[in-house]
Amino acid sequence: MNEPEPIFSVFPDHDTPPPALADLAPAHGDTFTPDAGLLGAEDFLSFYGLSELPFSDAVNPKYFYKTDGHDEALIRLMLAVRHDLSLGLVTGPSGSGKTLLSQMLLQNLDPAKVEPALILVSPGMSKTALLKALMGELELPVPEGLFVSAQELLSRIQDRVIELHREGRKLVVLIDECHFLAPDSLHMIRTLSNIETAEQKLVTILLFGEDRFLKRLEHPSYESLRNRMYLRSDLKPLTAADTEQFVKYRLMLAGRLDDLFTPEAFAALHEASGGIGRRINKLCTLALLEGFVKQAPVITDELVRAAAERA
């Protein structure tokens, strides 16, 4: 059975003609400098006692806040690597910390024992594209030409995996955004997971994707893939208590030790974000900007709600 297709210019004084563009330009040798008190990024941070922006959307393991769910998922991933499990899966809503979790795992892998490969999937990535991306991570030369077969690519990868095994190392492949994989790529993942000796699996593949990926796996054509998944973890949105600690932890790392958000602000933040880390970061940044513009010493629920309206 085949898998179904995946689904202005305004001038208040009308009697005064608008100035010519040449009149608006700075004189030769002059430079235009905006009001630093309003536009300076450093002023924005120092106003709140911050050494850096704590709510950046960049994937920075330094700011990884481990909830019980994230901690358990990381432990499971480490166990999958240590005990040569062939396949593992971490799912969760977009923005729940899957990519950051994969980065934390990479930091905890021993390069003397593991050859890591991280693949970020693009929508509809085919099996050939997947294999070429993996070869790139393994620093293997990719054959040129329009008619390079997937079997040829797979054979070269298998040879490299065997070499790693002889060196006392194993291949660990982390595939982020796996919900974007094309059907033939998912079947190729099953094939890659079958590379083994009589005693052990030589490849561990760890998938990270959104919850909708679980629905795809229910299709009968993926029964064999499902049966190879010994490990599954599902990341949940943060609770109200975790949302508060998430924010305080990031503020502390950025240099702010005193309370900055009011208790009511935390409640409004959790309600508006749904406990999703990426949304929390965005709302916090916008709330800080709102507060800075209004020169507010603390972030209140009113500022959070104003931020939510702009988000």
**Tens of pLDDT along 218-257?**
999 999 899 889 899 999 999 999 999 999 999 999 999 9
Confidence of residue 308 (pLDDT cuts 50, 70, 90): very high
Domain spans in the chain, listed from the N-terminal domain onward: 62-234, 237-311
CATH of 62-234, one of 3.40.980.10, 3.40.50.970, 3.40.50.300, 3.30.2350.10: 3.40.50.300
CATH 1.10.3470.10 is right for the domain spanning 237-311: no
CA angle 299, 239, 175 (to 5 degrees): 105
- The percent of residues in the chain predicted with pLDDT above 90, rounded, is 77
pLDDT at residue 40, rounded to an integer: 53
The DSSP symbol for 177 reads: S
pLDDT for residue 212 is more than 90: yes
Inter-residue long-range contacts of 111-115, CB under 8 Å, 24+ positions, other chains counted: 112/168, 112/169, 113/168, 113/169, 113/170, 114/81, 114/169, 114/170, 114/171, 114/172, 115/164, 115/169, 115/170, 115/171, 115/172
Overall pTM surpassing 0.85 (yes/no): no
